[in-house]
Structure 1
Amino acid sequence: MLNSKYNKSLIAIGMAIVLNTSTGCKKYLDIENPSTISQAVAFTSTSYTNSALIGVYNQLCGDNGVTKEGTIWALSADDFKTSGSYSPQDRRGISMYGATYENSELLNGFNQLYSGIERANICIDGIKNSALYAEGSDSKALMGSYLGEALALRAHFYLSLVKNWGNVVAQWEPSSKVAVLDASVTAGPIILEHLLEDLKEAEQLVPWRTESPNPDTRFTKGAVKALRARIAMFRAGYMMNKETNMMERSSDYKKYYQVAYDECKELMNRRDQHSLNPSYENVFKSLHTSTRTDPTFELMFEVGAYGAGARTDTKLGYYNGLRINASSRFGQGGGGELAIPTYFYEFDQLGDCRRDVTIGSYEIDATSQKVMNTLNNMTDAKFRRSWTNMVGTTQNLAVNWPVIRFADVLLYFAEADNELNNGPTEEGKNALLEVRKRAFLGHEDRLPVMPDNYPDFFNAIVKERLLEFGAEGIRKYDLIRWNIMGAKFEETRTKLRQLMNGESVYANIPNYVYSKAAPYNVINANLEFATLDTYGGSPSVTLFQPGLGTSTAPSGYTTKNWRASLNEASITGTSTGFAVYFESNKKEVLPFHQTTLLQNTKTIQNYGY
């Protein structure tokens, strides 16, 4: 679990002892070589091995690390999209499912994933062949733990590749041991099978959090088991078949649901290691500062950011997150991701605390006050410059990225339980209820009705994961593994038109809202929302009733277009519409960048690009 600010210096040490991996390497596996220690020497010392392993962890970091997937490749879904107008060659092209093989966002992150795999391969091979890992060695247990971490890191990198490209080149040895440099791609399901076996081994090697000497910076048994459950869920789901160009799932898919079920159940029985944080908001505040507010270790695995540079830090809270004016007391932040307007109304009007943590319904102006956004200009808000200690002009805010948390374990368990039993058991219902109760804390009378049959429970899981994991880079891949992306996109467009026209469940939503600036107190997100100054009372009321219905604001207030901010161009327009270029059985995977195709001639472009 790589998550703490106070141990981030460990990674910097590892950067000084990254192994030489260039000999015999595929070009897209080549990595920068700052090595001063040979591979032959590195695994004769537990200290050197540890440093080499930290060099693998380091490939999670930076602008081309996990945040590339979370904030670029993972958009759009029915929660958020990228702001701005369509271009096939940048992040907006990915968000609208119209990226070309020249898209600038495809190559560097792809290469860094393979760089991480190559470093992990070297560590795995080096540890397995080290005398320190041989039977009878006093260092066997420690070296075994390092081996487990390397296997888990490699699994994480490969899962990201498979989620985004489907079939990719799979290499399980260091490049120096591979004779054929141009290799054909391997089917995604086969890669996931390999990873499940790797992690079965890894979870026997790494300690539980409370037994680990590095509980806040490294993979522990809980994190490995959660990752194995995630991979099993993807193996149980639909994936692109490169031969048929169709989204398909294997006939034995329930076998993988069983793997996920078993892993999650064991984790749920070890609440001394990980459990839900009592406060949803504090999960995300913990990502921003060295003051942790996650006493139950819900954050099972997160990637640290440090050093104010593109290789090790992130732009979380500057690129995305709550929009903050550059002249404010905080400095500039946010705006790179926009909430799909219907997403705001997926949450319960009064009871669900997650809405105001997840969605930036207001922005911070030049005078450091909060001002209502329009309905089509709300941002993601789990990343906020104002939650950090960083002020001024810096773009790197040392905000960590959450990879997997205990809420995922509970909802994976509930989903697997429903699949295996053709309907939920009490255990499955209780897992879903636990997540819901945290969301509706203090408003338990507004909890949704618990379904008791297979289709309704599945739909409840689909909805709950939408509400729980907004803007965490998860929703798109859930829709893909369920093979409902096309259907959900059509459903969202229908809802957007209904919202635009004030129809159906949106009949009472106002055309206009009237607001004035109010103090931004950097307090609890629900209280911050409640103290927005809107004409007619609390925004929990004014955003859910017709209001005056005129564009002329009452004295002292400013008109904010609400439903009036939507038009057909914002739904189906080729420049700013919602997922306009998506095509089922094509755009569930990204194109390979043209440079990748040139460097490995046996990699065939994904269908439809």
Structure 2
Amino acid sequence: MKKNTLNILFAVTLVGLFTASCKKYLTTDSPSVLTQESIFSSVSNMNSAVIGIYAMLIGDNSYGSRVATLFPQSADDMRTSGDFSATDRRGISCYGASPDNTDLKEPFNQLFKGIERANICIKYIPKSDLYINGTDAQKATLQKLYGEALTLRAQFFYEVIRNWGDMPAQFEPSADVTNLYMPRVSTDVLYDQLLDDLKIAGDLVPWRTQSPDQNIRITKGAVKGLRARIALARGGYSLRNDTHLNERRADYKKYYQIAYDECKEVIAHPEQHSLNPVYENIFKTLHTAKRFDDAHELMFEVGAFGSNASTDSKLGYYNGLRHNGNSKFGQGGGGINILPTYFYEFDSIADCRRDVTINMFEIDADSKKVMNTATTMTDGKFRRSWTSIVDASQNLAINWPILRFADVLLMYAEADNELNNGPSADAITAYEKVRKRAYVGYESQIGTTPTDKDGFFTAIVKERLLEFGGEGIRKYDLIRWNMLGSKITETRQKLRDFKDGVGRYANLPLYVYSKAAPYNVAASTEELKTLDLINNESVYKALFTPGLGVTPTPDKAYVLKNWRAAVNEDYLTGDVKGYAIKFKPNERELFPIPTHAVNSNYNMVQNNGY
């Protein structure tokens, strides 16, 4: 079994389970499949049925690729590489996706397949004889399975809601629905149902140390963390179909209180989850069978295995560190690029997260590291060279992190600040725990934490930018804070200032000069120290001082790399290369509903503006 991967054969069981949802239309049972009754009369079969829900989390059309890497672009940190097209991944990044976008249809379908599978289990598990009359051990197992099904349905619905908004409230199996042409209902109604479900699940699913499946399946901390995240989404801003405005409700503090309470309980159990002392090890753990996370900061991750498009992931192949196909590692990375200005949001010396989150180099055909330009840096938390796979495979068995304990700490601090009109001492402590881990060895340089409400909120906004880069969180944070439009505008101006070399970017170089250097697959901060820059310059000196300012390479051994010169007007506002060029506030916070979904349900009204 690879890491926390559910590498269990469940195909025969699932054929029976998910064809049985149409059982009332059949007159005979096929001897080759299991009936609904037999599925839910066996603990083993019910376990397999729940594993079938987990299966919808992974693969190309879920967190193995598109949902994880394409849907979260773009914010003020990263963007998809390549030129704009309304019908593919670049349309998503530029906020110009059409209803026929090929990268939206199948993820939409798979998320609803996960909901349908969960609906079946949620209906039948608590009705089973073993759930009601079984042994204590059987009851405990089935309660856990029921709680997992509720949690997984919440995760699938949450993903649908935050990307498409109002949706039909189908919380029962399709076979039980008399009219499948269901209208869309408010996200408020949907979120409230999910919060209620997760309250139940939190009482059913055990803590990690009490679970027979710790590090493999959902445990209580993940349920509570997800409930806090959804509560903040419910209490935050979202695009309303009735007003076409990004708004939040008057009772929003009720939901901040839910988030506060859930996070507080998780924090009160450090034996279950705490911060990994080494930031980089969180992400290395996602790449290998060996765990580097004894603190169990990873609370909910999606397992990948099997070297195929359905059960594995393309993390590290599509996104992450760019590897030349002729390198000893094989081809990988490059689908997501860092915005140059994001690099300068980090402390230049003390914050270890920069060099983990941002790849300043790529791997060439000789398996050496070569400096990137300012616009070709890539997201750094996923790297083919951190895996043991060296063949031509596009599937690298890298897991996707859905929830970390650092997020629980920062959600707690944010909720506390909002509820108390300023941060309590505990909120400041939670915030500073995350910051001090980032500044390990330089803790005295974390700065003074603001104690007023607005100042502390601004600090939280910045800290979440630095902590979760490349983890699919930032865009959705900005939406729930009603800051996506303003941050895109602010970032475009920062990019222009970077291009022009003014303001905070006044002393940055137009060019840097570098040559290939050995790639040691060492700790990221150490790897940056051995980049070969002209005159033996450090990265700090090369990228924070004016530089040589000439285009002819002063030393033929070194290659010129555009730095400020890499950003031009086309990068800012060009029709095909421009950053977030199609964004429209109060419209493009949501994706278009795929054409097939609109055509198959006359009540599925398309989102405004599409």
Structure 2 residue matching 1:589: 3-state secondary structure: coil
- Which residue of 2 is the match for residue 15 of structure 1? 11
Structure 1 residue matching 2:375: 3-state secondary structure: helix
Asked if structure 2 preserves the Cα contact closer than 8 Å seen for 1:324 and 1:364, the reply is yes
Asked if structure 2 preserves the Cα contact closer than 8 Å seen for 1:17 and 1:35, the reply is no
In the alignment, structure 1 residue 587 sits paired with structure 2 residue 588: yes
* Matching of residues 374-523 of structure 1 within 5 Å: 374-523=373-522
State the Cα distance separating 1:241 from its structure 2 match: 1.1
For each residue in 1:141-194, what CA deviation from the matched residue of structure 2 results, as whole angstroms up to 9, or x when unmatched?
211111000000000000000000010112111111111111001211110100
Indicate the percent of aligned positions where both proteins have the same amino acid: 54
Structure 1 residue matching 2:544: 3-state secondary structure: coil
Change (3 A) 1:605 1:376: same
Change (3 A) 1:22 1:587: farther
In the alignment, structure 1 residue 200 sits paired with structure 2 residue 199: yes
Asked if structure 2 preserves the Cα contact closer than 8 Å seen for 1:24 and 1:178, the reply is no
Q: What amino acid maps onto 1:575 in structure 2?
A: V
- Which residue of 2 is the match for residue 557 of structure 1? 558
76, 87, 90: which is aligned to 2:88? 90
Q: What amino acid maps onto 1:77 in structure 2?
A: A
Q: Distance in 1 between matches of 2:423 and 2:4?
A: 42
State the Cα distance separating 1:20 from its structure 2 match: 3.6
Change (3 A) 1:35 1:88: farther
* Matching of residues 42-121 of structure 1 within 5 Å: 42-66=39-63, 67-121=65-119
> What is the TM-score with the length of structure 1 in the denominator?
0.96
For each residue in 1:174-229, what CA deviation from the matched residue of structure 2 results, as whole angstroms up to 9, or x when unmatched?
11111111100121111010000000000100111001011121110111111111
- Which residue of 1 is the match for residue 25 of structure 2? none
* Matching of residues 293-332 of structure 1 within 5 Å: 293-332=292-331
For each residue in 1:487-529, what CA deviation from the matched residue of structure 2 results, as whole angstroms up to 9, or x when unmatched?
0000001100111111101111111101111110000000001
Structure 1 residue matching 2:218: 3-state secondary structure: coil
Asked if structure 2 preserves the Cα contact closer than 8 Å seen for 1:81 and 1:339, the reply is yes
Asked if structure 1 preserves the Cα contact closer than 8 Å seen for 2:7 and 2:305, the reply is no
For each residue in 1:548-602, what CA deviation from the matched residue of structure 2 results, as whole angstroms up to 9, or x when unmatched?
1111222121111100111011011111111010000000000001101111111
- Which residue of 1 is the match for residue 120 of structure 2? 122
Structure 1 residue matching 2:2: 3-state secondary structure: coil
State the Cα distance separating 1:240 from its structure 2 match: 1.3
Q: Distance in 2 between matches of 1:544 and 1:267?
A: 41
Structure 2 residue matching 1:225: 3-state secondary structure: helix
Q: Which runs of 5+ in 1 are unaligned?
A: 26-32
Asked if structure 2 preserves the Cα contact closer than 8 Å seen for 1:386 and 1:522, the reply is yes
Q: Which runs of 5+ in 2 are unaligned?
A: 23-29
Q: Which moved more, 1:395-404 or 1:533-542?
A: 533-542
For each residue in 1:11-51, what CA deviation from the matched residue of structure 2 results, as whole angstroms up to 9, or x when unmatched?
432233114435777xxxxxxx9982111111101011001
CA RMSD, 1 decimal: 1.4
Q: Distance in 2 between matches of 1:7 and 1:235?
A: 30
Asked if structure 2 preserves the Cα contact closer than 8 Å seen for 1:20 and 1:35, the reply is no
Structure 2 residue matching 1:377: 3-state secondary structure: coil
Structure 1 residue matching 2:175: 3-state secondary structure: helix
Q: Distance in 2 between matches of 1:136 and 1:315?
A: 42
Q: Distance in 1 between matches of 2:580 and 2:599?
A: 29
State the Cα distance separating 1:68 from its structure 2 match: 2.0
Q: What amino acid maps onto 1:579 in structure 2?
A: A
In the alignment, structure 1 residue 147 sits paired with structure 2 residue 143: no
- Which residue of 2 is the match for residue 30 of structure 1? none
- Which residue of 2 is the match for residue 267 of structure 1? 266
Asked if structure 2 preserves the Cα contact closer than 8 Å seen for 1:512 and 1:563, the reply is yes
Change (3 A) 1:530 1:277: same
Asked if structure 2 preserves the Cα contact closer than 8 Å seen for 1:23 and 1:176, the reply is no
Q: What amino acid maps onto 2:77 in structure 1?
A: D
Segments of 4+ moved more than 4 angstroms: 22-25
Structure 2 residue matching 1:105: 3-state secondary structure: helix
Q: What amino acid maps onto 1:523 in structure 2?
A: A
Structure 1 residue matching 2:362: 3-state secondary structure: strand
- Which residue of 2 is the match for residue 545 of structure 1? 545
Asked if structure 2 preserves the Cα contact closer than 8 Å seen for 1:337 and 1:379, the reply is yes
State the Cα distance separating 1:389 from its structure 2 match: 0.2
Asked if structure 2 preserves the Cα contact closer than 8 Å seen for 1:15 and 1:58, the reply is no
Q: What amino acid maps onto 2:55 in structure 1?
A: N
Structure 1 residue matching 2:265: 3-state secondary structure: helix
In the alignment, structure 1 residue 284 sits paired with structure 2 residue 288: no
Change (3 A) 1:253 1:35: farther
The size of the alignment, in residue pairs, is 598
Asked if structure 2 preserves the Cα contact closer than 8 Å seen for 1:411 and 1:461, the reply is yes
Asked if structure 1 preserves the Cα contact closer than 8 Å seen for 2:3 and 2:291, the reply is no
For each residue in 1:304-353, what CA deviation from the matched residue of structure 2 results, as whole angstroms up to 9, or x when unmatched?
10000000001111111000100111000100000011000000010110
Q: Distance in 1 between matches of 2:396 and 2:283?
A: 14
